[in-house]
Amino acid sequence: MDITVESLETPALTKAQLAELLFEQIGLNKRESKDMVDAFFDLVSNSLVEGDDVKITGFGNFQIRTKSSRPGRNPRTGEAIPIAARRVVTFHASQKLKEQIQNGSLSATSDI
């Protein structure tokens, strides 16, 4: 019985697949599609790095949250170790996206 690594991976939508969809569905050439996807993610990333929230109507909100330092514990040894303060990105799905996921429906995707 052969088990491939691909069969163990969780399916994911990649930037390359997004660019391919833009190419197929909108008619942009492949270079323009790739550049558009890259520009979108650069814009989102830069906004988050600057501390701005990113709100995508019908999809959700990305927010920066500052976590303070706290005591932690190494699970293997039980040794107490400090966890440094850091900034993390959180995502909160919109109510519309939550409903689509619960219903398994793709009918409202044109509204996003």
DSSP, res 66: E
Please report how the helices 15-25 and 30-49 are oriented relative to each other, as an axis angle in degrees rounded to 10.
130
Range of the domain at 37: 14-52
Query: Which tens digit of pLDDT belongs to each residue from 15-63?
Result: 999 999 999 998 889 999 999 999 999 999 999 999 999 999 999 999 9
- What per-residue confidence (pLDDT) applies to 106? 64
Residues 89, 63 contacting (CB under 8 angstroms): yes
H/E segment holding residue 95? helix 95-103
Query: Which tens digit of pLDDT belongs to each residue from 72-83?
Result: 999 999 999 999
Same domain, 57 and 26: no
Nearest CA to 62 out of 53, 71, 70 is that of 53
Report how many domains make up the chain: 2
Single out the residue in 26, 52, 78 at which a domain terminates: 52
CATH number at residue 42: 4.10.520.10
